[in-house]
Amino acid sequence: MTRFRPCIDLHAGQVKQIVGGTLDSTTAELRTNFVSPHSSEYFASLYRDNNLTGAHVIMLGPGNREAALEALAAWPRGLQVGGGITDKNAAEWIDAGADKVIITSYLFPEGKFSQERLDAVLAALDGDKTRLVIDLSCRRRGDDSWFVAMNKWQTITDMEVNEESIKMLEPYCSEFLIHAADNEGLQKGIDDKLVARLAEWCSIPVTYAGGGRNIADLEAVKSLSNAKIDLTIGSALDCFGGSGVTLDACMEWNEKQPKPN
């Protein structure tokens, strides 16, 4: 069933909400919606205390390792961690308390998908795909196509997000995380077409993020995906400085959904 999933986005060691399309540390054009006065540990504890499972902790660039470790210490095996994950450190993050690790950029050296690297990450996890999430965050190209974007969503790769690529990757992971980078942080609504396509293509759990702003968007994702896809809401949440919806309202919405058999 569709459910609200929370997040902890880390930038320069702080919990922030950033407009995804501007996330390029080499420019002065970074647009930040919100910088929290609270630590990553605070949010991890908040999610733990309310049993908000499936939250992702994303390290956006360098300087976030300690903050991510603090979150994991607050809720061991309750959070997924992504950002700079490779075959060399994937097991280390699991050992540090991550429930799952999330990979994107490492799979696309020079913007081209590498099956060898995917195999290496899975091998580092002892072949346990239940510990692996593949992030296919993407940018729209044309009216009805999306391509995976890496390096803080600035580099477009050679992989189109479509039924073929989804079916190719599903045997290697337990779920997908897919940010619509062009919508991320703008609070202008979800990418309806992408949500509907993902529901058609995917047979494993999927979390969509990007543009979610209120309970109506949760209802829209539920309807468009036939209740197959989860939604992350970030900048619009009151705990991240937003005015679109409260965290309490999202949790109440989750409680009203039918429980899986």
Residue 249 within any structural domain of the chain: yes
Residue 160 within any structural domain of the chain: yes
Residue 261 within any structural domain of the chain: no
For residues 221 and 195, is the Cβ–Cβ distance under 8 A?
Answer: yes
Tally of domains within the chain: 1
Sheet strands (E) in 141-194: 146-150, 155-160, 175-179
For residues 134 and 107, is the Cβ–Cβ distance under 8 A?
Answer: yes
| pLDDT of the residue at 260 | 74
CATH number at residue 214: 3.20.20.70
Residue 19 within any structural domain of the chain: yes
For residue 152, what are the domain limits?
Answer: 4-256
Please, what are the averages of pLDDT over each run of 10 residues along the chain (261 residues)?
95 80 49 82 98 94 95 98 97 98 95 98 98 95 91 88 98 96 75 97 97 95 98 93 94 92 69
